[in-house]
Amino acid sequence: MQVSEPDTQLVARARRGEMEAFNQLISRWEKRLYHYLLGILRNREDSLDLCQETFLKAYRSLGSLQDAEKFSHWLFRIAHNLAFSQFRRNAGQGRTDSWPDEDQEDALMMRRDTAAFRTAGMYSGPEMELSVIQAMETLTPEQREAIVLKVYQGFQFAEIAEILSCPVSTVKSRIYSGFAQLKELLTTDRTTRTLPPNRW
């Protein structure tokens, strides 16, 4: 059985001009990167385009990578920056999936309460998955991105902070608030805790 070459060696080879080594890095990371972008952009075409752009940018600026051990963090950081730029462009074009400001929290709260959520115990399988996706969409993009990086990509808080270029405390805050919101929406006793008692 062939042992796969570590990222550090592939990065070193790619720096020496071996394009095939970088293609191996692409094969290793493209699916995870695509899912990360899909998780925050929620658009397949944009995710695919940005995924390709991320790898191109990474290849061109491979010389600026100081620590080859942190290739994955660096790659996701490039993707994050590109996604953020995409959000800003979309905001300029008036598209609805723009990165929200803090003052849009109220609008999100309204959307959260009117969303087609039901208690998680009533659903299973694909319906449950749809509920979770809808619940994730009620999060701010920052919360969603931090949770995607933590739960789906398996990064540590410190690594996420590095990717997002923010303090670890900010990462924790986003993840805590995001999970608090998801817990409220997805766990079984939500109805009894949130709905007014006289309504039933």
Partner 1 sequence: MNCEQTQPLLLDYLLEETSAEARQNIALHLETCSTCSEEVGRLRQTISLVAAAEPKEEIPQRFRLAPEPANWWTAFWHSTAQLSFATAGMACLAVVLLAVFQTHFSYEQGKFNLAFGTTPAIAQPEATLAIQSANGSGSLDRAAVLELIAQEVAASEARLKEETNISIQTASQRADQQRRSDLQEVAESLRYFQSTQTVMWKEQVQSQQVVSTWLQQAGMTSERP
Residue number with CB closer to partner 1 (156 or 165): 156
Q: How far is the CB of 198 from partner 1 (least distance, A)?
A: 25
3 three-state secondary structure? coil
Q: Are 108 and 100 in contact (CB under 8 A)?
A: yes
Rounded CA separation 162/80 (Å): 11
Residue number with CB closer to partner 1 (32 or 70): 32
Residue number with CB closer to partner 1 (89 or 183): 183
Q: How far is the CB of 38 from partner 1 (least distance, A)?
A: 6
Give CB contacts under 8 A, 24+ apart, made by 60-66.
Answer: 62/11, 62/14, 62/15, 62/22, 63/15, 65/11
Residue number with CB closer to partner 1 (58 or 87): 58
Q: How far is the CB of 55 from partner 1 (least distance, A)?
A: 6
Q: How far is the CB of 130 from partner 1 (least distance, A)?
A: 8
Rounded CA separation 194/173 (Å): 23
Q: How far is the CB of 18 from partner 1 (least distance, A)?
A: 11
Q: 22: which 2 tokens?
A: 């970088």
Q: 106: which 2 tokens?
A: 């109220």
Residue number with CB closer to partner 1 (6 or 121): 121
**Interface residues toward partner 1, by CB under 8 A:** 19, 22-23, 26-27, 30-31, 34-35, 38-39, 44, 48, 51-52, 55-56, 59, 120, 128-129, 132-133, 136, 147, 150-152, 156-157, 172, 175-176, 179, 182-183, 186-187, 189
Phi then psi dihedrals of residue 13, to 5 deg: -65, -40
CA atoms within 13 A on the CB side of 119: 11
